[in-house]
Amino acid sequence: MGYDARQMAQPPALPSDHRREQFTRSFKDHLLLLVGAVGIAWGLEIVDAVLFGFLDNFGIQPRRVSGLIGIATAPFLHVGFTHLISNTIPFLVLGGVVLMGGRKIFLQSTIFIIAIGGMALWTLGPPATNHLGASLLIFGYLGFLLARGVFEKSGFWTAVSVAILVFYGGMLAGVLPGQPGISWQGHLFGFLAGVIAAKVMFTREAT
């Protein structure tokens, strides 16, 4: 059997831990996805202002059948523009870092966090409450990024986890009971869903 000299001359593929250029390119290529999600939230808040807060009825309302729809809608709804502004920057930053791993990973982790974290909040959240905002998703990204390097055993993503802990570790206080009116339960369940997402997506079976 003969050999193709052109194939023999090709350099070996870089290990996944050293694909920083690919991560950056992926982030740029799919930036529209991230900005689009923020745009939807801002558009809905503008509509909600015109409707005098009517859309706020579509939050996660624990153990109410009508509140189930909030699992899908709540991350895009906020209690006023101040609430939305406070969530916009951390969503762009943490969501952007998740997106550096690729569009597929971003979408899978986002759906997982919204579904699992939202369902946990609907099941275990306090009665007669209404939970709105992207905080569940933001804390989910935080948990996902802190856990990814550990479960994937990746040097690059471990370094990313450390950097996220340094710059955003203070957010972890948000998973504990604190200021009235703040859904710390949403923060907690979102964070745990993010950790579980990283475990499910990156744990390698022993051989």
Angle between helices 155-168 and 135-152 (to 10 degrees): 140
Indicate the fold that domain 20-202 takes in CATH.
Answer: Rhomboid-like fold (1.20.1540)
pTM of the model: 0.85
pLDDT of residue 26: 59
Find the mean pLDDT for residues 134-160: 95
**In the chain, where the domains are located:** 20-202
pLDDT of residue 5: 45
- Structure-model confidence comparison of residues 169 and 30, the more confident one: 169
pLDDT of residue 6: 47
Per-residue pLDDT band for 178 (boundaries 50, 70, 90) equals confident
